[in-house]
Amino acid sequence: MLRKLFYVFLAVLSLIIVGSPALAYFPEPPGRGGDPHSTALNVEAWRAHPVLPGEGLACLAQRSGLSWETLARANGVLHPGNLSHVVDLRLPNPATSAKVLAARQGETSLELAARHNLSSWDVIRYNPQPLYTGAGVALPIPAEPTPCLPYPLVSVELTRQPLVRGQTSVLIVETAEPAACEVAYAGQIAPCYALDATRLYALIGISALAEPGEYAIEVQVQARGLDTAWQTPLTVTPGRYGFQFINPPPALNALMDPAVMGGELDYLALWRVVRTPERLWELPLGFPLPFRAEISADYGARRSYGGMVDGYHSGIDYRVGTGVSVLAPADGVVLMAERLVARGNAVLIDHGGGLITGYWHLSRIDVAVGQRVTRGEAFAAVGNTGLSTGPHLHWDVWVNGVSVDGKQWLEADGLGMAFPSVAP
């Protein structure tokens, strides 16, 4: 009897505790760290935030500088993916002071504004002095923040925005829990690859022939069997590319038959769809020659071959003598190694994670299809085969099948982020 009374007492006590406002102060469990409000949260003083359709807990938490678990506990939310039953969510009061970031190399006020979704006038107002690398810049926190991303998305960011056509940007997708994703942009479909447990990346390569303007990157995320779609804008600027009029000797005229050139482009297109998830490359890529050779024709120049065939230069030509070794810029697997009509002896190496490199006009090929090459390994020799007017190495860099400017890939910070090193 006494025992039964004790249980009734316990039940009543637990009801009192659940209803008590004292529980609105949530101590952070030890060892989690990260939250500035880790001792106690004064939820009563927080503002009420009306939850918008599709708004996710993880994003709201990140904006408030809290973990999503803390925000869920403070608001009594049971499932982070489902805020549909929550009318108002209590959030810490936002800071209004400007935050300070370091300027990136060569960054302009316009680029800063685009990257942080602010008006360029605001950026200039806060930073009247010229920007230089490493300098702190003040950015206003917008009074009306952009709507939060749907769960499980925490953030979607481009490392290069706006993007000069012919260049590569990296889309970084952060999620509240492990997820898979795929992106679609400018007629391309690219898989995301894992950076770590909750971050994915997708390489965004834009051809030098792409129309400048506003594009949308469609992000499709899958977590726990649920699909979530999001769109993020991509601004493509024209960049400066030259024009080259090439007058090959009459002996090469047969190679300039548009049917031959077109057929070879179609053949190369077969390899452009290859996507190998495992990343074997690291930044910066190794130089594809034993020494820094001079560029004789840069990437992106519009070309006319004797007025017969028009196109653009899809890679970089290095002026170098016949017989010089060609080196693998990263580990990879030989995808193609054969004699083509216009490109002469040609090799494609798949480095995984969205990157393939190509080598044309070779005098000699020392590898076979399927063979594994390691960074710095000599696999071929420079030559003058195919539609070529002198010995040189033509180097093509493909990002998800799109020929882009390889120079960006030869710099440690070329893509605007550090990639974790590849496990041996």
| Contact footprint for Zn ion (CB under 5 A) | 317, 394
The count of other CB atoms within 10 Å of the CB of residue 247 is 10
DSSP, res 148 = P
Per the structure block, which two tokens stand in for 173?
A: 């997708």
- The C-alpha atoms of residue 121 and residue 402 are separated, in whole angstroms, by 35
Q: How many helices and strands, by DSSP H and E, does the chain display?
A: 6, 27
Can you point out the beta strands (E) in 97-179?
Answer: 99-102, 136-139, 153-158, 163-164, 168-175
Closest approach, Cβ 132 to Zn ion, in A, equals 36
Which residue number, 122 or 298, has a Cβ lying nearer to Zn ion?
298
Which residue number, 104 or 392, has a Cβ lying nearer to Zn ion?
392
Q: Would you state the torsion angle of the CA atoms of residues 305, 188, 230, 178, taken in this order, to the nearest 10 degrees?
A: -120
Which residue number, 150 or 383, has a Cβ lying nearer to Zn ion?
383
Measured N-to-C along each axis, helices 68-75 and 57-64 cross at an angle, to the nearest 10 degrees, of 100
- The C-alpha atoms of residue 322 and residue 361 are separated, in whole angstroms, by 10
- The C-alpha atoms of residue 383 and residue 373 are separated, in whole angstroms, by 20
Residue 166: strand pairing partners: none
Which residue number, 115 or 394, has a Cβ lying nearer to Zn ion?
394
Strands 47-50, 88-91: pairing kind: antiparallel
Can you point out the beta strands (E) in 283-377?
Answer: 294-297, 302-305, 309-312, 316-319, 325-327, 332-340, 344-352, 355-362, 364-365, 372-373
Closest approach, Cβ 296 to Zn ion, in A, equals 8
Helix (H) or strand (E) holding 61: helix 57-64
Which residue number, 109 or 363, has a Cβ lying nearer to Zn ion?
363
Which residue number, 202 or 348, has a Cβ lying nearer to Zn ion?
348
Which residue number, 285 or 387, has a Cβ lying nearer to Zn ion?
387
Closest approach, Cβ 306 to Zn ion, in A, equals 16
Closest approach, Cβ 167 to Zn ion, in A, equals 18
Closest approach, Cβ 394 to Zn ion, in A, equals 3
Which residue number, 151 or 360, has a Cβ lying nearer to Zn ion?
360
Q: Which residue is nearest to Zn ion (CB)?
A: 394
Closest approach, Cβ 361 to Zn ion, in A, equals 8
Per the structure block, which two tokens stand in for 328?
A: 């693998």
Which residue number, 317 or 405, has a Cβ lying nearer to Zn ion?
317
Which residue number, 176 or 285, has a Cβ lying nearer to Zn ion?
285
The order of strands in the sheet holding 378-381 is 325-327, 378-381, 364-365
- The C-alpha atoms of residue 89 and residue 219 are separated, in whole angstroms, by 27
What is the DSSP secondary-structure string of 246-291?
E---GGGGGGG-HHHHHHHHHHHHHHTT----S----SSPPPSSSS
Residue 26: Cβ-neighbour burial (10 angstroms; 0-12, 13-18, 19+): middle
Which residue number, 64 or 388, has a Cβ lying nearer to Zn ion?
388
- The C-alpha atoms of residue 58 and residue 52 are separated, in whole angstroms, by 14
> Which residues have C-beta within 8 Å of that of residue 147, sequence separation ≥ 6?
52, 54, 55
Closest approach, Cβ 386 to Zn ion, in A, equals 10
